[in-house]
Structure 1
Amino acid sequence: MSVSIEVDELTEPQLSVRQLHVAYGGIQAVKNLNLDLYAGELVSLIGANGAGKTTTLKAICGLLAPQSGEVRFNGHPIAGQGPWALVEQGLVMVPEGRGIFARMSIDENLRMGCYLRKDKDIESDIDTVYRRFPRLKERHRQLAGTLSGGEQQLLAMGRALLAKPRLLLLDEPTMGLAPIMVDQIFEVVREVSSMGVTVLLVEQNALRALEMADRAYVLDSGELVLSGPAKELLDNPQVQAAYLGA
């Protein structure tokens, strides 16, 4: 189960996006986007292909420079900061396509998640990841590029967890995976959320994403068209027709 958060106007968002505009050349990919995430929430961002979901995540984590708008993390504006600086602050992204280092071993990939850390808990945290994902432990010397798609996704998520995120951005974590691996990835997302990590989940499987989320936002052609408690959006006729096959 995800952490249930009661949101009110007196609570400051952990992540606040205001009037965000992002373009690729002359194409406006995200238009006047506003969204908030509060500490401990699991929030889903859904929409059709090309709706601007990945662009939004990239703008939040510093991989894309927005045309205009503001992104604040823990109350501070983060415009112009590189992804490495945001990782150090606890804002971590698992990108679409996993982004693993294919010619490095599983163990080396995991240790890259600790690259910015200077604490003494690195080895114990790596052991914790191996206990959570025993398949990675069994093959820790294997080159990451030889793993299956599902195993690579587990590796990418394990590496992200080793960066000790306060906010975790997940971009299409189940894309192209077999159903049994899809179930495992969603279980990992639930577990991460139950640990108190705030999660922003971009996911094509809108039904599963809404079922597990506290709240959700719906993007269409770069614009926010719906938002609210995930359970309410599950019952929304517009969402059912567009994304749930009803």
Structure 2
Amino acid sequence: MRKRALSALATTAAWLLLAASPAHASVIWDGDAARGTDVFPSLECPSPSSVITADSSTGHGTVFRYTKAAGDIRCESRGVSVGGSRYAFADGGTYYFDWESQLSTVSGDFVVWQWKSYPNADQNYPVIMTVKDGAIRLFHVPPGSTSWTLLWSAPVQAGAWNRYAVGIHAGSSASSGWVELYFNGVPQTLTGGGTRYAARTWDSANEPKWGAYDRDDGSTEIINRVDSLKLGTSYADVG
């Protein structure tokens, strides 16, 4: 009887410990649009372009709506705010960025996400995601290079919601960093044949940017609705 009682007590204690443990212990940032644009420390979106929270009208509830007006080239958020302060990413850190996106157009050639370097960077944007002529594309860009390495591409449609998770291990050498990608919850095979691409992914400092940047032709209005933003240290944190 005593052994059964002790066993039951141990089981109960273990269950209580599990229940008290957070489900996502390594989540760094929850960018829920219901919290407003203060989840971003910087907005680079001059008027008449805008970043606002709005109802998605497609069942996603409140989302961020980035509107890059015709005539402008950029409407982006930069970085993430944790505890009211700009979060400092670090060389050697592992980061998973997760979000959902709906685009008003998939024509032309424009940027929807960047792992951008600041300041005085040799590697302007180590990892960058673009849309071109109906396809979403992920690139790695080496230091000082105008030659981008296409890591992955998939067709997308205007008005359709898709989910992305980019995993980055920040490394300042070609052998110490890596990139992963999940598309609609599925790990993707990248250039080279694996799900993880080894590459330099860190410069003087780096931050994520979401939105729309039409670097070659700003004549078209682009609306990028973004939802369910999260940042963690593993895919399990955000997936």
TM-score by length of 2: 0.29
Structure with higher strand content: 2
TM-score by length of 1: 0.29
CA radius of gyration, larger in: 2
